[in-house]
Amino acid sequence: MKTYNAPVGVENNWVVIDATGVVVGRLASYVAKRLRGKHRPDFTPHVDTGDHIVVINAEKAVFTGNKLEDKVYYRHTGYPGGIKSTTAGKILSGRFPERAIEMAVKRMMPRESTLSRKQFGKLRVYAGTEHPHTAQAPEVVDFKAMNRKNSKTA
């Protein structure tokens, strides 16, 4: 049996996903899979076969349960005792709400490789409904309708 390798010049599609009322973790897992190209039959781990993803309405994404108050993101300044923390609620209600989705997707990608950084660069997240990628004629994916658990009710 011969091993299949995807060709280097792979056609990458453009996809738009509306994050209104969508659970962040489920959206991040779907987006990470599409960025890597694992949804394609010609997926090869060392070739960038993923799509360009545009996520709109990131400020309207939701967390389930008490994650808005309980989920804590940590970062370190590099100095002794320089650990900083913030909650998911502060990020979503802050100046850059798109960072909640970006961080969730980035942490679902493979760790620190040149290919994963290139694949993560194909993610564009916008807080509002407007995006400058209409010229690429992106296909609209109704993520909320894929599964009833994708959107938070109540």
8 A C-beta contact, residue 48 and residue 13: no
Residue type, 118: K
Whole-model pTM above 0.85?
Answer: yes
Check if the beta carbon of residue 46 is closer than 8 Å to that of residue 85: no
Inter-residue contact 135 to 128 (CB < 8 Å): no
Is residue 48 one of the residues assigned to a domain? yes
Q: Does 23 map to a domain?
A: yes
Of 56, 42, 38, the residue nearest 119 (C-alpha) = 38
Q: Which range of residues forms the domain containing residue 139?
A: 14-63+93-146
Closest CA to 31 of 106, 128, 114: 106
Number of domains the chain contains: 1
Q: What pLDDT is attached to residue 154?
A: 58
> Can you give the pLDDT of all 154 residues of the chain as single tens digits?
777 776 777 889 999 999 999 999 999 999 999 999 999 988 888 889 999 999 999 999 999 999 999 999 999 999 999 999 999 999 999 999 999 999 999 999 998 889 999 999 999 999 999 999 999 999 999 999 999 999 887 5
CB 55 within 8 A of CB 123: yes
CATH code, domain carrying 47: 3.90.1180.10
Task: For 19-48, write each residue's pLDDT tens digit.
Answer: 999 999 999 999 999 999 999 988 888 889
1 in any annotated domain: no
| Residue 119 covered by a domain | yes
* 19 closest CA partner among 79, 105, 78: 105
Give domain status of residue 152, yes or no: no
